[in-house]
Amino acid sequence: MSEVSFPGVRIRGVAAAVPDQVRTLADDAKVFGEDEVRKVSESAGVKQRHISSILCASDLCFAAAERLLAESDCPAEDVDALVFISQTSDYILPATSCCLQERLGLSKDCATFDVNLGCSGHVYGLWVVSSLIASGAARRALVLSGDTIHRMCSPEDRSVALLFGDAGTATLLERCEDTVPSHFVLGTDGSGQDHLKVGAGGCRTPWTPAALQRVECEGGNKRGAGDLYMNGAEVFSFTLRAVPPLVKKVLGGAGKVIGDVDGFVFHQANKFMLEHLGKRLKVPKDKLILSLENFGNTSSASIPLAMVTELGDRLRSEELDLVLAGFGVGFSWAAASLRCGDMTVPELVLVPVP
């Protein structure tokens, strides 16, 4: 696993945005029936999701970034780099980060690029930007993590359709000599690539009329090659194998133990899974941060979204030692031990759905 510490980098602020359109359990019950929805909700911990079939991840990230820059008094021209983390980009090309540079009014001297990662993506983004700042390549940079994965889900596939919501986030990092070093651990196992996948629509398997046709699969679910497929059992097994040693390794590298940490912000995949991880790691319940109930699984946005909605008040007024961990599609995983505090954390932005 890749492992590194970065001195002299701090998070100045974090913001999140979601569509103002909410899908409730009652809405889902009209499609899948009350009993099925209740079972999934009790296990996954999802009671509602913010979704839109019109807004893109970039729209939500733009709203979050615009609010964050305004409230942190950071002029757009002071941003040296922008990294867009998403698996739901606006186009095949150009890079969505280029579109966001123009929308946000950032300098033409600003370096931008996209990173195609999901569940682990936000921590990867922090790692990339921290390395840029620590090396002197940038003094201030934005990580924009967002996804609209629900648009990839077949509405007739209860294994995914009841879980995913939409969100976009913005995290502003900057050079700061007087800060505790952050510590990162990252890894990949591509042998798990088929267990969480949208098979059609890329150059390997282009769109065809057949790819758009949904056929009956396991348990009566219906999906096509262009819809999201998730092998829940394999993803769960991977998580239990990879995440406990990942968290222990990042804590060890940072010279910390479980009791030193104020909050564990894991990728918000599934409540049952997260609580199981918490028990394995002996994380106190009040330190295991959960935001699934109101937002579902928001892929790359889930960690910063949870920071805003569940820790925002504390992050504005005090310093917290946090462990962030993302894991999933790829298979890919990443964790960070960070000290965060005295940050700009705007209230959650609700973006009107046209």
CATH architecture of the domain with range 1-354: 3-Layer(aba) Sandwich (3.40)
Question: Is 74 in the active site?
Answer: no
**Cβ neighbours of residue 155 closer than 8 Å, sequence gap 6 or more:** 31, 161
Please report, as a single letter, which amino acid is at residue 35: D
The whole model's pTM is what?
0.97
Q: How far apart are the first and last CA of the chain?
A: 44
User: pLDDT, tens digit, for every residue of 2-35?
Assistant: 999 999 999 999 999 999 999 999 999 999 999 9
**Residue 1 above 70 pLDDT?**
no
Question: Is 297 in the active site?
Answer: yes
Q: Which residue of the set 150, 221, 267, 340 is catalytic?
A: 267
Burial class for 238, CB neighbours closer than 10 Å (0-12, 13-18, 19+) = buried
239 Ramachandran zone, left/alpha/beta (phi>0; psi -120 to 50): alpha
Q: Dihedral (C-alpha) 122, 126, 127, 129: value to the nearest 10 degrees?
A: 130
Sign of CA dihedral 96, 1, 265, 37: positive
Q: Which residue of the set 119, 195, 270, 294 is catalytic?
A: 119
List alpha helices for 4-90, DSSP H. Answer: 25-32, 34-44, 57-71
User: pLDDT, tens digit, for every residue of 236-259?
Assistant: 999 999 999 999 999 999 999 999
Count of CB atoms situated within 10 Å of the CB of 331: 23
Count of CB atoms situated within 10 Å of the CB of 351: 21
What is the pLDDT at residue 241?
A: 97
Q: Which residue of the set 61, 221, 297, 340 is catalytic?
A: 297
